[in-house]
Structures are given as structure tokens and as C-alpha cells.
Chain A
Amino acid sequence: MTKSEFLQQLREKMKGLPKTDIEDRVNFYSEMIDDRIEEGLSEEEAVRDIGNVDEIVTKQIDDTSLTKIVTEKVKPKRRLKAWEIVLIILGFPLWFPLLMFILTMLLVFYIIWWSAVIVLWSIEGSLIMSVFAAIVNMFAFTFRGELLSGFGYFGLSLLTAGLSIFLFMGCVAVTKATFQLMKKVTLKIKKSIIGEEN
């Protein structure tokens, strides 16, 4: 691949991101390739050395905030004609609720997901409390001479302790996975907003 082909590809795949960001990154890679060529590499080798266009683009999308991407998307590419403005205003009762609906759904999804995680942690919390309660009961019953009940609570405390350790690992894993999922979903949303233009 030649340098200009590489930069052209880069530019095309970043379409939809803010113009200044695209130019800035393209200039950066252009300089990187030129410096390599100056050092004695062939154009082909220099481009190969830089790496994969898709990876670079994904990184750039990841680095750009969602608000920046949305702003770029809704910014008119040219001056709007009068009838277009009229259409936007007349269509407001239609597009605004739709937009709100989508945003609300996203928010609801987000809240529900995190609620599930919080519920899991609450169960973990109550399990830990049960461990202590069982231990207290164990002593209370033993001192009162009810050895069988005391023994029963001893077993219960072991059981809840085991369960809480088990669930704790689960909670940590779920929380971590959630963070990763949210990151992936954000990237997907960003890509789909940009992707429509390609």
C-alpha cells in the first residue's frame, strides 16, 4: 500500500468524526511514514510498519467522546434551505418524542443493568450479616445450654460464610464484566452513529 492510499483509507474510515481530529491524526501518520522513509525504509515498508488502519480508527473512536461524535453528526454539512428548516420545526412533534424514546430506553437499560449488579451486592451484604448473626446465635444458644441449636447455628454460619465467599467472587466478576460491557456498548453506539455515513 502506498502512503497516499493508506492516508486515504484512514480518512475514509474516520468519516463522521470531527474534521479537525481527522486531519490531525492523518497529519500525524503522514509525518510518521515520512520519517521512516527518510531513515531508509521503502514507502511500502514504512506503511506496513505503521500497522492496521482499522485498529487506528477504533482507537480514535474510543478516544473521541460520545457528545463530540453526536455534535458532529447533527451539525449541518451545509446551510439548511428554508423548507428544510420548516420541515424540522413541523416535524418536531414526531422526531423529538422518538429521540427521547430512544434516549430513555438506553437510560432504562443502563439503570436496570446496574440495579441487577447492586442487587447482587446487596445479597452478598446480607449473607455476610447472616454469618455474624449465626455466630452470635451460636454462642447465645450454647451458653443457654441448648447445644443442639448452638450446633445448628454453627453449621449455618459455616454455610453462609461459604456462600458469601462464593458470591463475592461472582459479584466481582459480574461488576468487572459490566464495566467491560458498557465500554463495548459505548464503542458500538459510537460506531453506529459514525457508520451510517460510510
Chain B
Amino acid sequence: MDVQLKRGLLEVCVLAVIRNQPSYGYKIIKDMKPYVEISESTLYTILKRLEDSDMLIVKTVEHNSRLRKYYHITSRGLKRIEEFKSYWPDMVAMYEFIVREDNKQ
């Protein structure tokens, strides 16, 4: 799969996971697992990029006498999800077109 495309999609997936409530690294991976496999190092890169572009903020919370980072979505992040949802029907239409043309063979 196209690396850039996949990266962009994974970013939205991560935002979707923390959309309703803040979450932490391991839980994000677990929540995505039934649908998308994502490695720790990939998640790290994505979280960094989302943080740098103000789509999420990080809050460190004490948990069982150690620190755990929680990722909170920002209004920018919410907007990113909405944007993705708005242009996706076009993508689906293109996909259907490609499959249909391919089946004609």
C-alpha cells in the first residue's frame, strides 16, 4: 500500500480512537487491533505528528505510581475527522469505479 496514503489513514484512525475519550498508547493499539494492526514505532511517529500539528495534546497522569501519557483530541483533530468523512465518499466512488472497470475484463 502507498506509504503516504496509509500514514494519512492511520492518523485519522488514531484520532477516531481518542475521539470520545482520551486514551494512552497501549490502549490505542489494543482498540485498533481488531481492525488495523499497528506497531508501537508507527504509533509513536503518528502521535508525534498529530501532536506537532495540534490535533491532539498530551497530558501526563500518575497511574499505579508511574507516569502514563494520555492523548486528548483537540478541535483541530475533530475537524480532521470531519474532513476525512467529507471527502471519503469520493474515494469510495473511485474505488467502485476501478473495481467495476477491472471486472469488465
B64 cross-chain contacts in A, Cβ below 8 A: 38
16 A-B residue pairs with Cβ-Cβ distance under 8 Å, sorted by A, are: A28-B40, A28-B44, A28-B69, A29-B40, A31-B66, A31-B67, A32-B26, A34-B66, A35-B26, A38-B64, A51-B39, A55-B41, A56-B41, A59-B45, A63-B45, A63-B48
B window 16-41: CB within 8 A of A? 24-27, 39-41
The A interface is mostly helix, strand or loop, or mixed, namely: helix
Q: Is the CB of B40 within 8 A of A36?
A: no
Tally of chain B residues near chain A (CB < 8 A)? 16
A27 cross-chain contacts in B, Cβ below 8 A: 67, 69
The residue in chain B whose Cβ has the minimal distance to the Cβ of A36 is B26
Is A15 on the interface with B (CB-CB < 8 A)? no
Residue-wise, chain A 1-37 has the 8 Å CB interface mask toward B (1 for contact) of 0000000000000000000000001011101101110
The B interface is mostly helix, strand or loop, or mixed, namely: helix
Is B68 on the interface with A (CB-CB < 8 A)? yes
Residue-wise, chain A 48-74 has the 8 Å CB interface mask toward B (1 for contact) of 001100011001100100000000000
* Size bracket, chain A contacts: 10 to 19
Q: Is the CB of A31 within 8 A of B41?
A: no
From A29, A31, A55, A63, B24 is in contact (CB under 8 Å) with A31
